[in-house]
Amino acid sequence: MLIALYERIKASRGILGYAQVSILCDELELDVEALMIELLPVAAKFALPPISKFYVGAIALERTSANSGNLYFGANLEFSDQALGLVVHAEQSAINNAWLNGAKQIDLIAITDAPCGHCRQFMNEMHNADALSINLPHKRTSLRRLLPEDFGPKDLDNHESLFQSTKQALSFSMTISDALCETVCRSYAPYTGNYCAVELETNKGRFVGGYIENAAYNPSLSPLQSALSQIQMSGYKLEEISITNITLVEQEGKKNQLGVVKAVISSLGYEIAIKEVTAYGL
């Protein structure tokens, strides 16, 4: 059954909708939180950790009722030939998956292992961080218990938060796809103001990633990390993908992502001219 679920989740790019979740809960006679724990091995199956060999899975829940909701899967992603700072952690992957696919908030996250400090800080950027529950295979806890005396958006006088930020009104120096336009306008960049996103055209379809910043800066997720994580959550290894075109959109006067894109793409063996598009505030 887990193999069949893996294939189903892979086909939907790492998502189980609330209707499917309700059916599974009924079939297995589990509540949604217990179901998430049972599905953690499926989430970990998406992990690509060539450096650590440590497979981590995470599942984020957006509740739609008391015992159902949308489940967004995530797993850790590592790059053999790049700085460790470019690793995508499983919790980041699941939250990124939810955010890119229109979730309004994350009510609970289940993880195969206790979150590291990096991930606790990343989760702290969400508007409901004070109420966020974290379920591990052996215990239930909360972000506040794991991150006391936190440092967050308000400490930098930022009154926005992840999942509750203002959608930007932007124009562009050239025509881009609707998906890329939407992701740029929804990107979360309250500290640098570089509202940006990237679109990768591949032999397996198009994948879009957006920028998610963090008050502590280091846990920020670059647009390229966001997009590559989406490829991973579609069940593809990076070596199975052929990237044919890359479009990077960045804010006028704020650009800071081109170097990251060039370095990672080069390390993956590509020599691709990156199409640079400038976004202008209206």
Residue 103 scores a pLDDT above 90: yes
Mean pLDDT of 102-116: 97
Least confident of 82-86, 167-171, 226-230, 249-253: 82-86
Mean pLDDT of the chain: 95
Partnered with residue 279 across adjacent β-strands are 172, 251
pTM of this structure: 0.96
Residue 80 scores a pLDDT above 90: no
Residue 81 scores a pLDDT above 80: no
Confidence label for 69 from pLDDT (cuts 50, 70 and 90): very high
Instruction: List, for residues 13-64, the tens digit of each pLDDT value.
Output: 999 999 999 999 999 999 999 999 999 999 999 999 999 999 999 999 999 9
Domains defined for the chain, CATH in brackets: 2-156 (3.40.140.10), 170-281 (3.40.140.10)
Instruction: List, for residues 142-181, the tens digit of each pLDDT value.
Output: 999 999 999 999 999 999 999 999 999 999 999 999 999 9
Which tokens hold the place of 92? 């980041």
- Dihedral sign from CA coordinates of 235, 101, 181, 167: negative
pLDDT at 26: 96
Tell me the H-state helices in the chain.
Answer: 2-11, 18-28, 32-44, 90-100, 117-123, 143-146, 178-186, 223-232, 258-267
The letter for the amino acid at 86 is L
Reply yes or no on whether 91 is catalytic.
yes
pLDDT at 106: 97
CA-based nearest residue to 115, from 97, 134, 139, 131: 134
Q: What 8-state DSSP symbol labels residue 155?
A: G
Which tokens hold the place of 180? 């890329």
Q: Sort 263 into a burial class: Cβ within 10 Å, 0-12 / 13-18 / 19+.
A: middle
Active-site annotation holder among 91, 199, 213, 250:
91
pLDDT at 149: 95
Residue 281 scores a pLDDT above 80: yes
Neighbours of 279 (CB within 10 A): 25
Three-state SS across 217-267?
Answer: CCCCECHHHHHHHHHHCCCCCHHHCCEEEEEEEEECCCCCCHHHHHHHHHH
CA-based nearest residue to 43, from 9, 81, 92: 9
Rounded Cα–Cα distance for residues 6 and 89 (Å): 19
pLDDT at 267: 83
Residue 188 scores a pLDDT above 90: yes
Considering only residues 260 and 134, tell me which one the structure prediction assigns the higher pLDDT: 134
CA-based nearest residue to 109, from 154, 66, 69, 77: 69
Contact by Cβ (8 Å): 185, 217: no
pLDDT at 3: 83
**Whole-number percent of the chain with pLDDT over 70:** 100
Instruction: List, for residues 204-235, the tens digit of each pLDDT value.
Output: 999 999 999 999 999 999 999 999 999 999 99
Neighbours of 10 (CB within 10 A): 17
Confidence label for 239 from pLDDT (cuts 50, 70 and 90): confident
